[in-house]
Chains A and B, each alone.
Chain A
Amino acid sequence: MRLTPEEQHWLAGEAGPGLRKAIEIVVALGKIYGAEDTVPVGSVQIAGVSYKNLGDAGLAFLHEWAAEGGHIRVPAYLNPAGMDLHDWRKLGIAEDFAHRQLDVIEALSRMGAVPACSCAPYYIGVRPALDEHIAWSESSAVSYANSVLGARTNREGGPSALAAAIIGRTARYGLHLPENRRADTLIEVHCPVESEADFGALGYLIGKQVGNAVPYFRGLGIATFEQHIPASTDTHLRALGAAMAASGAVALYHIEGVTPESRRDNMLREDARTLRIDSLEAGYAALNSTPLAQVDLVSVGCPHASRDELLQIADRLRGKRVTTRLWVTTARATKEAAPHAVEIIEQAGGLVVADTCLVVAPIEALGIRRLATNSAKAAFYAPGHSRVDVRFGTLAQCLEAAITGRWPGGPAEVR
């Protein structure tokens, strides 16, 4: 790899161990993937924030790196934590866990990260430009940044994103290179795809089958307003991308006429393979791990809900009361931008939960065994990660389950 004189100076340890560790990580990844050099990044998204995943060792690691002089030099935003940073007691989080989680946030903030604690930073003002190089982790955010915004990032891991934040650069390989952004898999969808749950089920099926391919969609009946993506479409794309990145490793996709890069020439390779989807049934079946109707927790907002969704949810809950736990997970900044919707949801007995989500919060420790969600990503991870049974369906089904305590339509119905 060609390194700048400054990078060589860092690698030799002449600027301290913190920078040496950071450039070592970036160079190691560059070597593996044949990068010629590094590229400056406009922003970083840092995963490895939840204490559930980091443990004491991960926390010690962050403290150590900070003490070694690891200081962040570009805008860097944190992924969700393991709890709502203000209202963790309301969720039932243990005191011990809470103190350690707050310690993680403190350590990363002192290093210079912005404690946004959201997997959807693009809803709270962090919107990279078309073709902008960034270093984001969090698979659903990577998918959105690459596909919906046309920015350029690989699926960075937690430590490599932090390394990129410290040196302000990442190795120039993979999706930083235009030739790697062309689609290699054409997706032909021969069934209706209408709700956000449909898009999630579709994404789950595709991800499972294509691994880390770059899919290309035609049609899908997606509504755009000239070149503008309306809120409903945005919600659908967020669900699609998150699911493909969870069941597979899809970091970039194109939808003809909808996503920005699809308007460029030759974005579908001549040797692209074709994947045909005739039905979403298998997706729904896989994502509903149980035929049981009772639920302990209904959680929506994975990835984090947009302000528009908060308003929609409030609309549906106005004048109603829930009988199960209901979490609407979102960024704190979004919650603060919709106080009236939050009030309505909370009057119905739900909680608008900031800074976390059901994937990285220790829900098993909160006694939750049966979950309902409209997120295919969450439905995919939850049985293994959190040892719960899952019901998956639309927002309407989830909210009805929250109100009645039972998944609508009876135990056997999957959709």
Chain B
Amino acid sequence: MARKISFKGRVIKEGKAAGEALVSPAPIGFLGGVDPESGLIVERGHPLEGQCIGKRVLVFPTGKGSTVGSYTLYRLARNRLAPAAIINVESEPIVAVGAIISEIPMVDQIDISDIRSGDWVVIDGEVVTVERARQDTDVC
């Protein structure tokens, strides 16, 4: 039986989306940190270095770096490599503006410690639903 939890966050960009979560414990800086041509995280030493963000529900604490990063998110969207949705703990302007201009649904004020990479996440406006298939090792 799968486990389902729902959260209510704050809408940064209104929309509906679903996808497999990709969770980063560290902030993400899009200009120079994500390759807009491949969708890969390329920042040296980043916990998600080498992973592809395309079509994933990208979960991370907050954005960082150059304000040109908004345009990098846009380039990803044009290349069909953008995340399906973005979930932050606390939004900052670069990612917020990037999500808006790229039409990527985005919610913040979510406790991301409840989400793991691989969870199935559905976003509908301010509601985020996280579904995790039960593992054999689950105790309860």
Whether a CB of chain A sits under 8 angstroms from the CB of B48 is no
Name the residue of chain B whose CB is nearest to the CB of A58.
B71
CB atoms of A158 and B70 under 8 A apart:
yes
A155 and B12 in contact (CB under 8 A), knowing A32-B91, A55-B75, A61-B74?
no
Q: How far is the CA of A25 from the CA of B73 in the complex (A)?
A: 15
The 8 Å CB contact of B97, one of A25, A47, A56, is A25
Q: Would you give the 0/1 interface string for B66-93, flagging 1 where the beta carbon is closer than 8 Å to chain A?
A: 0110110011011100000000000111
The B22-78 residues at the A interface (CB cut-off 8 A) are 31-32, 36, 67-68, 70-71, 74-75, 77-78
Whether a CB of chain A sits under 8 angstroms from the CB of B96 is yes
What are the residues of chain B within 8 A of A160 when measuring CB–CB? Answer: 93, 97
Identify 30 residue pairs between A and B in the complex whose beta-carbon atoms are under 8 Å apart, listed by A's number. A21-B100, A24-B100, A25-B97, A28-B12, A28-B97, A29-B96, A29-B97, A31-B12, A32-B12, A47-B68, A48-B67, A48-B68, A53-B31, A53-B68, A53-B71, A54-B68, A55-B36, A55-B75, A57-B36, A57-B74, A57-B78, A58-B71, A58-B74, A58-B75, A61-B74, A155-B67, A156-B67, A157-B67, A158-B71, A160-B93
What are the residues of chain A within 8 A of B71 when measuring CB–CB? Answer: 48, 53-55, 57-58, 61, 158-159
A21, A31, A137, A156: residue with the most chain B Cβ atoms closer than 10 Å:
A31
Q: Would you give the 0/1 interface string for A131-162, flagging 1 where the beta carbon is closer than 8 Å to chain B?
A: 00000010000000000000000011111100
A159 and B36 in contact (CB under 8 A), knowing A28-B12, A48-B71?
no
A157 and B100 in contact (CB under 8 A), knowing A48-B68, A53-B71?
no
Q: How far is the CA of A55 from the CA of B91 in the complex (A)?
A: 25
Chain A's nearest CB lies how many Å from the CB of B75? 4
Give chain A's interface residue range (CB within 8 Å of chain B): 20 to 34
A61 and B93 in contact (CB under 8 A), knowing A54-B71, A158-B68, A158-B71?
no
A159 and B12 in contact (CB under 8 A), knowing A53-B68, A60-B78, A61-B71?
no
CB atoms of B101 and A159 under 8 A apart:
yes
Q: Would you give the 0/1 interface string for A359-401, flagging 1 where the beta carbon is closer than 8 Å to chain B?
A: 0000000000000000000000000100000000000000000
Q: How far is the CA of A48 from the CA of B75 in the complex (A)?
A: 13
What are the residues of chain B within 8 A of A159 when measuring CB–CB? Answer: 70-71, 97-98, 101
Chain A's nearest CB lies how many Å from the CB of B43? 12
Whether a CB of chain A sits under 8 angstroms from the CB of B121 is no
CB atoms of B78 and A157 under 8 A apart:
no
Name the residue of chain B whose CB is nearest to the CB of A27.
B100
Chain B's nearest CB lies how many Å from the CB of A162? 10
What are the residues of chain B within 8 A of A156 when measuring CB–CB? Answer: 67
Q: How far is the CA of A25 from the CA of B99 in the complex (A)?
A: 10
Q: How far is the CA of A55 from the CA of B32 in the complex (A)?
A: 13
What are the residues of chain A within 8 A of B79 when measuring CB–CB? Answer: 57
A157 and B74 in contact (CB under 8 A), knowing A47-B67, A55-B36, A137-B67?
no
A31 and B13 in contact (CB under 8 A), knowing A157-B93, A158-B68, A159-B71?
no
Name the residue of chain A whose CB is nearest to the CB of B108.
A32
Name the residue of chain B whose CB is nearest to the CB of A54.
B71
Q: Ordered nearest first, which 7 A-B pairs have the shortest CB separation?
A: A157-B67, A57-B75, A57-B78, A58-B71, A53-B68, A159-B97, A159-B70
Chain B's nearest CB lies how many Å from the CB of A87? 25
Q: How far is the CA of A57 from the CA of B70 in the complex (A)?
A: 11
What are the residues of chain B within 8 A of A54 when measuring CB–CB? Answer: 68, 71
